[in-house]
Structure 1
Amino acid sequence: MTGHIEVLEPWVEELLTALEIEGTPIDIEAVLDLAGEAAHQIVRPAAPVTTFIVGYAAGLAAATDQATSVVAMKAASGVASRLCAERAERAGNSAESPAAEE
C-alpha cells in the first residue's frame, strides 16, 4: 500500500490545488479503507459512490458550520462504515436463513 500512498499524496495535493481547496486535510488511508469496506461488503462499484457521498455530506456539514471538516468527515465515514457492516451482516444472516431460500 505504501507505493499507492507515494503516488496518491502528490495527486491529492495537485487535485486540491486545482479545486482551490489546498490545505484541506485528507486521510488517504481512511478513504481507501472505507472504499474497501464498500467494495467488499456491498458491491465493488459502491466504493467510489460511497466515498463521494461521504465527502459530499462532510462538505455540507462543514460548510454549514455543523462541524469542522475533520469531525464531519469522521462522522460521515463512521455512518457509512456502520451501514456497510450492517448490510453485510444482514446479507450473511439472510443467506443462512431457510426463509431466504423460499
Structure 2
Amino acid sequence: MNVLAEWTALVCQELGIDPEKLDRDVVLDLTRDVAHGVARPAAPLTAYLLGLAQGAGTAGPDAAGRLAAMAREWAAPAAGEQVPGR
C-alpha cells in the first residue's frame, strides 16, 4: 500500500467515512486544477468547501467537475483591469 492510500484509509476510518464513497482521483484532479489555475492555497480550501456542500446535500454529482472547469478558465486580470466579483 502506498503512503497516499494508507493515509486515506486511516483518515476515512478516523472520520467514519466509507472509503468506497471516495473518488480520490476526482479530488486530486480538482485540487490540481485549482492550485494551478487559481492559487495554491485555494486548492485545499476548495476541496473543503466541496466536502461541506456534499455533506449538506447541496453539491450535485457534477460539482467537482464544474469547480475544476471554473479553475481552468480562471484568468488573472491584466494590470489595472477590473473583473466583476474579484
| TM-score normalised by the chain length of structure 1 | 0.64
| 1:1-54 per-position Cα deviation (integer Å, ceiling 9, x unaligned) | xxxx82111211111111122344212121111111111111110110011111
Q: Which has the higher helix share?
A: 1
In structure 2, the gaps of 5 or more residues are 82-86
Distance 2:19 2:25 in 1: 17
Matches within 5 A, 1:1-102: 6-61=2-57, 72=60, 74-88=61-75, 91=76, 94-95=77-78, 100=81
Task: For 1:39, give the aligned amino acid.
Answer: A
Q: Considering only CA atoms, is the larger Rg found in Structure 1 or Structure 2? A: 1
Cα pair 2:37 2:73 within 8 Å, conserved: no
In structure 1, the gaps of 5 or more residues are none
What CA RMSD, in Å, does the superposition of the two structures yield over aligned residues? 2.5
Cα pair 1:57 1:76 within 8 Å, conserved: no
Deviating above 6 A after TM superposition, structure 1's stretches of 4 or more consecutive aligned residues are none
Alignment length (residue pairs)? 81
Cα pair 1:35 1:48 within 8 Å, conserved: yes
Q: 1:58 to 1:28 in 2, by over 3 A?
A: same
The alpha-carbon deviation at position 87 of structure 1 amounts to 1.9
Higher relative contact order (CA 8 A, sep 6+): 2
